[in-house]
A and B are shown apart, each in its own frame.
Chain A
Amino acid sequence: MNIIEVKNLTKRFGDFVAVDNISFTVEKGEVFAFLGPNGAGKTTSIRMMTTLLAPSEGEIILNGINPQKDQAAARKSFGIVFQDPSVGEELTAYENMEFHGVLYKVPKEVRRKRIEELLKIVELWDRKNHLVKTFSGGMRRRLEIARGLLHHPKILFLDEPTLGLDPQTRNHIWSYIMNLNNVEQITIFFTTHYMGEAQDIASKVVIIDRGKIVATGTPSELMKKTSADSLEKAFLALTGATIREEEASPVDHLRMGRKMYHR
């Protein structure tokens, strides 16, 4: 059964085509990697799937629901960890979690239990009563991931979840997510620039470049197709080795700022 169906999806910003007529499907329970160079259109696609942006053309079906027509029902089906910062600065780590739990109507008992479990996993339990504005970039990121995992939706969107995190934390987080995927059949839709991550955990990969899909398959299929011995090499073979120069929008500057911060 397909839990996500995207048909001929297009997004234009003025004359610029950010997402150009893409189509793909994701099966229930799949771990789906959506890969592509900077500016390929990954985040824009996710924003359309998560009701934050209206498509210029095309159709999206999430869990049988059209997020354009029935936003409320669609929002009940997914959870998301954004690429850009999204925590409340003047709230504590715990309050951010609590806020999310209440918005997603996670029952109090479950909420308390999970908040503790998750904050321990991302090693913020000791800092739970500190204001987020005193956190480092990596700590904020860990909090955002913990928050995203607090309710258990049908589909979990993760937009570069592990950006700027140390390898220990990355491992912990991915094993927690894979466990969720196994036990609760939660579909994982993620983007990353660490090709190793995608190679290890993705059951399906779609590669997008300049708004268009250039390849689809399992990691091993893509490696075979390009006679590469790693997904990273396959990725480079499929998208070329040149660096993407793009006219950065203010949003991109913000993102760049965040990336620099994490170096």
Chain B
Amino acid sequence: MTLSVIYILWLRQIKRYFRSKARIVGSLGQPLLFLLAFGFGFGPIFQKAGQGNYIQFLTPGIIAMSILFTAVFSGIEIIWDRQFGFLKETLVAPVSRLEIMLGRTLGGATVATLQGVIVFVLSLFVGFHIYSLIALPFAFIFMFFMALLFTALGTAIASVLKDMQGFQLIMNFLIMPIFFLSGALFPLDGLPKVIEVIVRCNPLSYGIDALRAALSGVAHFGLLNDSIFLFVGVVVLLFAGSFLFSKIEA
């Protein structure tokens, strides 16, 4: 394990992110829209149902959403690197696949965390209030873990897909369901059994719950459960991603 190798792979992901300003701005549009449209649109109903302030509830979910999309996308960028040929350059180098995977994944996770932090800052202007300054650092840690988990998922997907043609399928049948069936948008009490089961199998549910605990001071599963499931998810997906990535032929 060579740190300089992991570092240079990490650095490349970071540079790539900061050099595509259009992408940064573009990927802020969606979370902002969700925050405004849902936040203010459903706010009154939410309030009437006795659930309190919806922006307060929704913001952690939207932060998680932007982390989810950015992270999966960073992982999936391997497909582009394969098509543009840059992947070969790393695959024939005398470095292990694990180093390559770790460097890239840490880079992608850093980028996704940054994106989450930007959305968090924006939400403060929309009316979101953090409940405690002391808990704030924990929010960033949970964001990073979510980012790590979903970048690894993206890597795993990219290692299996041959080109971008399968991307739409993955978006509609995996990423969208992960987002919508996670408790990002609605509270998890009193759900139909099927939905409840799916939500409980979804790692994002625990990420959002943890984030909500750190930012708004409320948790559905409890912070300990959240942390355990999130951690296990990260470990499992890092292994799965490394394994699948080690099988890539360029």
Contacting residues, chain A, for B93 (C-beta < 8 A):
75, 100, 103-104
Q: Is A236 an interface residue (CB 8 A)?
A: no
Whether A103 lies near B90 (C-beta < 8 A) is yes
Within 8 A of B (CB), among A79-116: 80, 82, 84-91, 95, 98-100, 102-105
Majority SS at the chain A contact face: loop
Does any Cβ of B come within 8 Å of A201's Cβ? no
Report yes or no: B86 in contact with A88, Cβ–Cβ below 8 A: yes
Please state if B20 and A80 are interface contacts (CB–CB under 8 Å): no
In the complex, are the beta carbons of A76 and B94 less than 8 A apart?
yes
Q: Encode A58-85 as 1/0 by CB contact (under 8 A) with B.
A: 0000000000000010011010101011
Cβ contacts under 8 Å, B249 to chain A: 52-54
Query: What mask results when residues 80 to 104 of chain B are scored 1 for a CB within 8 Å of chain A, else 0?
Result: 0000111011111111100000000
Q: How far is the CA of A198 from the CA of B199 in the complex (A)?
A: 64
Given contacts A75-B93, A76-B94, A105-B94, contact A99 B8 (CB under 8 A): yes
Is B19 on the interface with A (CB-CB < 8 A)? Answer: yes
Residues of B within 8 A of A51 (CB): 91-92
Are A103's CB and B8's CB within 8 A? yes
B1-50, CB < 8 A from A:
2, 4-5, 7-8, 12, 15-16, 19-20
Are A90 and B94 closer than 8 Å at their CB atoms? no
Across the interface, A95 reaches (CB within 8 A) one of B15, B85, B88, B250, namely B15
Interface pair B96/A91, CB less than 8 Å apart: no
Distance, CA A72 to CA B99, complexed state (A): 12
Q: A84-B88, A87-B86 are in contact. List 11 more A-B contacts (CB 8 A).
A: A51-B91, A52-B88, A90-B16, A90-B19, A91-B12, A91-B15, A91-B16, A95-B15, A99-B12, A100-B93, A103-B93
